[in-house]
Structure 1
Amino acid sequence: MANPSASDDYFRFFGLNQQFKIDLPALDQAYLAIQKEVHPDRHARGSDVDQRLAMQMATLANTAFQTLKNPIQRGLYLCKLHGVDANLETNTAMPAAFLMKQMEWRESLDEQAEDLPALESLMTEVERSKEDALTEIAQAIDGAKNYERAAELLRGLLFIDKFAIELDDTIAALI
């Protein structure tokens, strides 16, 4: 059965290196292998303890997989593992240039809500900004081991991601 002692580190649980840039196919493979091993149906005839442990391991595998698959959640998790809390609920301070860009995007969305080509162009810009943020986060975590900086970048990425979803919804409504 999967190693419950590795449950304090999702990366170790899946046999992956503790880093931001991970091999997603390897994560998928490790997840499927663990799920196959701990699936409750495989332990239906086992003792109550075996069944409970299998259920706990399946739940842990699901939680760990969802955390590591999502780059924002993975980054926040890595920060947490290294003693840095992003304080998402209380720390909303962002650099002025970042806030200005957010305001520009919001104004563009409001002013061009019916202009599909303009919205698609805005989406390209937002996606590029998201990719740039992901690159910076990878450098902060994997390169510099600067988890405070990574947490700051992740807070910004959450804003970008939220805006991208709103923009995507607006585009979808026009199509």
Structure 2
Amino acid sequence: MQNHFALFHLPQQFDIDAKALDAAYHEVQNQVHPDKFASASDAEKRVAMQWATRANEAYKTLKNPYKRAAYLCELNGVDLQTESNTAMPVDFLMQQMEWREALDDARGQKDRAGLETLESDLRGARKETLAQVGGLLDAQDFTQAAEKVRQLMFLERFADEVANAFELLPD
């Protein structure tokens, strides 16, 4: 079975051409669209549906930089060990503790400005970590990239918590 990059005829690398991905995705979707199989056998319809589902999954994976990085690690034999490996560098853990306290304070005080500052800090950390992941993947250091991807996973989850805190603020 071909990988997601091969499905869309893209080079297997972190930096991808978003327009080329979009165009390739639409091309695959057009080839397997249910309307083209309206008079086909049930088996042919099923295969077309499987291809459409696979194309959707591949597109979502490659479109999202975090998912693309994780996928590249896995393609290169590095298991992210997201369930079993929670080890993180001390400075990263200290930063998380500070952010967690800031989130708790902002929630408790219904402090929109505090949440905005936290959101901005997180956006910067995610951007920096993604750049590091890209560099590590380009250098073929998939083990170190996997560690950074695990950090990104934490940052993504924490950003969701911050977004949820905004929703709970009074208007």
TM-score (norm 2): 0.93
Identify the match of residue 116 of structure 2 among 114, 120, 137.
120
- Asked whether 1:135 is paired with 2:131, we answer yes
- Asked whether 1:168 is paired with 2:156, we answer no
Provide the rounded CA distance (Å) in 2 between the counterparts of 1:125 and 1:50: 50
Provide the rounded CA distance (Å) in 1 between the counterparts of 2:116 and 2:70: 29
| Aligned ranges 1:27-42 → 2 under 5 Å | 27-42=21-36
Identify the match of residue 146 of structure 2 among 146, 151, 165.
151
- Asked whether 1:8 is paired with 2:8, we answer no
1:72 aligned partner: 66
Please state how far the C-alpha of 1:65 moved relative to its aligned partner: 0.9
Instruction: Find runs of 4+ consecutive structure 1 residues off by over 3 angstroms.
Output: none
Please state how far the C-alpha of 1:52 moved relative to its aligned partner: 2.5
Identify the match of residue 54 of structure 1 among 44, 48, 58.
48
TM-score (norm 1): 0.91
1:108 aligned partner: 102
Provide the rounded CA distance (Å) in 2 between the counterparts of 1:112 and 1:47: 59
Please state how far the C-alpha of 1:8 moved relative to its aligned partner: 2.2
Provide the rounded CA distance (Å) in 2 between the counterparts of 1:76 and 1:31: 20
Provide the rounded CA distance (Å) in 1 between the counterparts of 2:8 and 2:2: 11
- Asked whether 1:17 is paired with 2:42, we answer no
Please state how far the C-alpha of 1:111 moved relative to its aligned partner: 1.2
1:81 aligned partner: 75
Q: What secondary structure, in the 3-state scheme, does the structure 2 residue paired with 1:92 have?
A: coil
**Which ranges in structure 2 are unaligned for 5 or more consecutive residues?**
none
Provide the rounded CA distance (Å) in 2 between the counterparts of 1:47 and 1:72: 39
- Asked whether 1:92 is paired with 2:86, we answer yes
| Alignment root-mean-square deviation, CA | 1.2
Paired positions, count = 168
**Percent of residue pairs identical:** 46
